[in-house]
Each structure stands twice: as structure tokens, then as C-alpha cells.
């Protein structure tokens, strides 16, 4: 099956062509980092306008790189949500137009499922069931992938996403945008044990994350010690990064041990962070958990992952109507109701 995928959920305009959902024939990404850098974050209106400017050339380039035409396609996949509504509408409008004009099957893809499917584009794809930690600028959530296309939400952030916290602290330290890579660069010369930032504890025992208190603590530290020298900035960056990594690793491994799931996928833009990859790999190995992490180029927003997920849904018989609309708050799996966890603990898995 030959599928074209389109991604425009936030500030990357991307298109890709995949064969059989696994073989990447092309994967084109137009970044907007320079456009949003002066503001220290993504400006939604600017993002959607830039998508309008570049989305047709990006799709044309993806088709040319793959050596195929629209008539050769077996289907079209597009990110339907979640994301910025203006950005999503650009991609959805183009995908629906192409599907209509060329009479091709269309499917809408959840952006977070796309991130999970990035792991299936590696030489060592995961086998169901597995836990997936999706951590990015807009999302931080832990899912139980019970079977293909079947998910249960295990935990999620109760406030800021991890990537959002990185962006805000990077701006606070004057390190630039995007914040994740900027913090990681600055942290290389800092001491991760120089400052002890607090980690949120969930009193109800949920596998949820929280980064607002950590961000506030970093902000208060900066205000108390201003003006900061270069060494202080490096220490703050290193200590903040270490705290974020510790929370992500601890929650993920505890969830894996509690549920008895022995495979974990780490994905999303923040999964490109070196210390996070290394920290989760070490902790997983210590507990006999197999870790799957896509290469950094497939962790950040791209269309290959959307095409992979879209191909799986097309093969399952899913079709989206041409009246399909963008869903900025689209859920991959509903939050569990109080007192009803999404999956029961394994009988012999040790509690940590």
C-alpha cells in the first residue's frame, strides 16, 4: 500500500510517502523554528499562515522525492488532531481536496498515535502489548497499547507538558527557542546536582505528571540569584533537565512494573533529549524492560509517523468522510474514571 501523509498540527509542515506502512520513500519537514524564535514560543496565527505558504511545495517535494504521482497512491492520511486548530485546518483542507479530486481513500490520524507509530519505522519495532511514553511540547502522556490501534490512558500531565516547561525555562534563562535543545546544550557544562528542584508527588497514587511546580521553582531560583553568570545558567539548566528526566523515568518504570508490561516505547519531540533516552534506557535495563526509541528525526514532528499510523488504519478498513474536520482536542484514549484504573496491576509485578 502506497500512502501519502500530511502533518500540520503545530509549527512543522510535513509530508511523507510510505510503502506498506514501514518503508519511508520520502519524509519532508519544513520547520518554523526561526519564525517563532523571537517570541520564545509558537504563535498560532503565524504558524497557520506559514503552513498555507509552504504546504503545497512540501507535498510536491515529498511526491517527487518518492518518485510517485498522486494517481499512484492507495490512500491519503492527515493529522486530524490534537493541535492548533488553524494549523490542523490547513493540512486537513489540503488532504480532503486531494482525496476528492483524485478519488483516494482518506483517513484522519491522531497526532499522538503518529508519535507511537514512529517506533514501527525502526529496525526493531515493538510488539504489543507495550507502554508508550509520548512526551512533547504540547503533550506528556503514558499509554498502554494493548493491541494494534487499541489504547488505554495510564497517566498524563496535570498542567504543563514537559516540552512546554523546557520552553518556558529556556526563555527564563535567555537560551532561545525551542527550549528542549537549548536546555540540553546549556546543561552539558552544568552540574545536574547543583540545585535540588522539587518533584511533584500525586497523593492519589495516579501515574500522572506535573511540571508547573518545577517550572515555578526554577523561576523563583532565577529571581533570587539574578543576575546570573554563565556557570549558574548551566547549573540551572542541568538541574532542571535532571529533574524532568527523573520524573519521566520514575513514573514510566513504576507503571511498567505495576502493570507487568515488559516493553516501553519512548517517543515525541522531547524523546530526542539525550539524558532522557539514556536515563530511561538504564532504568529499563535494570528492571528487565525492553525499550524502543525512534531516532531523533522521527521523534520530532514529521509526516512519516502520521503516514505509518494512517496506513494501519486504512488497512483496518477505516475511511474518513470528506466532511471530516480538525479536532484540536482529539483524544487517543479517554481518561480513566475515578476508582477505575485503565489496566489492573499484574499479580506478581513488584510495586515500587
pLDDT score of 202: 84
* CATH tag, 2-117+301-315: 3.30.420.40
* CATH tag, 125-293: 3.30.420.40
pLDDT score of 40: 86
pLDDT score of 328: 97
pLDDT score of 204: 83
Mapped onto helix, strand or coil, the DSSP state of residue 15 is: strand
pLDDT score of 162: 94
**Cα dihedral value 218, 300, 326, 76, nearest 10:** -170
Q: Which residues of the chain have pLDDT under 70?
A: 336-352
pLDDT score of 287: 96
Question: In angstroms, rounded to a whole number, what is the distance separating the alpha carbons of residues 273 and 187?
Answer: 11
pLDDT score of 337: 55
In sequence order, what are the beta bridge partners of 19? 2, 23
Domain boundaries, the chain: 2-117+301-315, 125-293
Contact yes or no for 154/255 (Cβ under 8 A): yes
pTM over 0.85: yes
Amino acid at each position: 500500500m502506497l500512502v501519502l501523509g500530511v502533518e500540520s498540527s503545530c509549527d512543522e509542515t510535513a509530508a511523507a510517502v510510505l510503502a506498506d506502512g514501514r518503508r519511508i520513500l520520502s519524509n519532508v519537514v519544513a520547520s518554523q523554528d526561526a519564525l517563532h524564535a523571537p517570541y520564545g514560543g509558537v504563535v498560532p496565527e503565524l504558524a497557520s499562515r506559514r503552513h498555507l505558504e509552504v504546504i503545497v511545495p512540501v507535498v510536491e517535494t515529498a511526491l517527487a522525492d518518492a518518485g510517485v504521482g498522486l494517481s499512484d497512491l492507495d490512500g491519503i492520511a492527515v493529522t486530524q488532531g490534537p493541535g492548533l486548530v488553524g494549523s490542523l485546518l490547513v493540512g486537513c483542507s489540503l488532504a480532503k481536496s486531494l482525496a476528492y479530486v483524485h478519488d483516494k481513500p482518506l483517513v484522519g490520524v491522531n497526532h499522538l498515535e503518529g508519535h507511537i507509530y514512529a517506533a514501527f519505522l525502526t529496525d526493531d519495532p515493538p510488539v504489543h502489548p507495550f507502554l508508550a511514553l509520548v512526551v512533547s511540547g504540547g503533550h506528556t502522556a503514558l499509554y498502554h497499547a494493548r493491541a494494534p490501534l487499541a489504547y488505554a490512558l495510564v497517566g498524563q500531565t496535570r498542567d504543563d507538558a514537559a516540552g512546554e516547561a523546557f520552553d518556558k525555562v529556556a526563555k527564563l534563562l535567555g537560551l532561545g527557542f525551542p527550549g528542549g535543545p537549548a536546555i540540553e546544550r546549556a546543561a552539558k557544562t552544568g552540574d545536574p546536582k547543583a540545585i535540588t528542584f522539587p518533584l511533584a508527588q500525586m497523593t492519589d497514587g495516579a501515574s500522572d505528571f506535573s511540571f508547573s511546580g518545577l517550572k515555578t521553582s526554577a523561576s523563583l531560583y532565577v529571581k533570587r540569584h539574578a543576575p546570573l553568570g554563565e556557570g549558574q545558567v548551566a547549573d540551572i539548566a542541568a538541574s532542571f533537565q535532571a529533574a524532568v528526566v527523573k520524573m519521566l523515568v520514575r513514573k514510566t518504570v513504576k507503571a511498567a512494573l505495576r502493570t507487568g508490561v515488559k516493553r516501553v516505547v519512548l517517543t515525541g519531540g522531547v524523546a530526542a533529549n539525550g539524558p532522557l533516552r539514556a536515563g530511561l534506557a538504564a532504568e529499563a535495563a535494570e528492571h528487565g524492560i525492553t525499550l524502543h526509541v525512534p531516532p531523533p528525526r522521527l521523534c520530532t514532528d514529521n509526516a512519516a509517523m502520521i503516514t505509518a499510523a494512517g496506513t494501519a488504519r486504512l488497512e483496518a478498513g477505516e475511511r474518513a468522510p470528506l466532511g471530516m474536520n480538525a479536532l484540536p482536542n482529539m483524544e487517543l484514549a479517554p481518561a480513566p474514571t475515578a476508582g477505575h484504573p485503565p489496566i489492573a496491576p499484574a499479580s506478581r509485578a513488584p510495586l515500587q
